[in-house]
Chains A and B, each alone.
Chain A
Amino acid sequence: MIISNLIRQKSYEKIEYLLRRHPITFLPSFLIFLLMLAVPVVVYLLINNLYPNILDPLTSKILFPLATLSASIYYLGTCLFFYFRFIEFYLDIWIVTNDRIVSINQKGLFSQTISEMDLYRIQDVTVVVNGFFPSIFKYGDVQIKTASQNIKIIFKNVPKPNEIREALIQLSDEDRKHHNS
């Protein structure tokens, strides 16, 4: 599947921006994953220190295979958890065309929210860069509101938010002129 099929791109439509969250925002999940990988090693060293040979493969005919299977299940579960977290991070997509904005928000594996907003309806674009890391690495939220204020799309933790804001204002002005004519 390509992006144009995903958003059912119209013949006159051109994709201006394809946005995802800044990669630095995935770092905490990656660090947690590394920490989780270390847990069985620490537990093994602790048990080996307190009760030597209890997990020796030659003497322990029951505990060793059970401990190995448990560790394997734990590690595979950790891999799966990491993959889930990546899917949640990477599948939040915001597509800006010269006609509309499409927001795809992935929550877990079986929940997805897709929103669409025509560019000419945009009334207000606000950028929020809040915190030390967002300021250093230049990422933040772009909040887009219509006249009714009830409909709002938020680009979360996208890179270069000010550039996106300026582009959105320009694109919405051009789309409004096109609709008025």
Chain B
Amino acid sequence: MFEISLYIFLFIYFGFLAIFFIFSILNFYHIVVTASFTLASFIVSFFVFSLATLILYATWYLLINVDWQTAVPLFNYEWFNGILIF
């Protein structure tokens, strides 16, 4: 049986979070260096960052009671038991 712990997926999620924040900062940097930091761009940036904060809070709230040590079976040979019985 091949299994991994649930927290591995949490690490993958954190990796995506890092990519998200890097690109968000890059986007904001582009707005500033092209002299485009106006009311409109401020409102949209504020909206995006607020929505991201809300999503992260909701994710944290939903996952607060999760046992991250739970084993996730990726492959178990017992899945194929009885498969060739005719």
Contact = CB atoms under 8 A, between A and B. Distances in A.
Interface residues of A, number: 32
Give the secondary structure class of A's interface.
helix
B13 A2 contact: no
A80 B59 contact: no
- B interface bracket (residues with beta carbon within 8 Å of A): 35 or more
A22 B59 CA distance: 36
Contact of B59 (A1, A57, A68, A82): A68
Contacts of B59: 68-69, 72
A87 B33 CA distance: 12
Nearest to A87: B27
B17 to A, nearest CB: 7
20 contacts: A1-B32, A1-B35, A62-B70, A64-B66, A65-B68, A68-B63, A69-B63, A73-B13, A76-B20, A76-B56, A79-B20, A83-B45, A86-B41, A90-B36, A90-B44, A91-B34, A93-B36, A106-B34, A109-B26, A109-B27
Interface of B: 6, 9-10, 12-13, 16-17, 20, 23-24, 26-27, 30-36, 40-41, 44-45, 48, 51-52, 55-56, 58-59, 62-63, 65-68, 70, 72
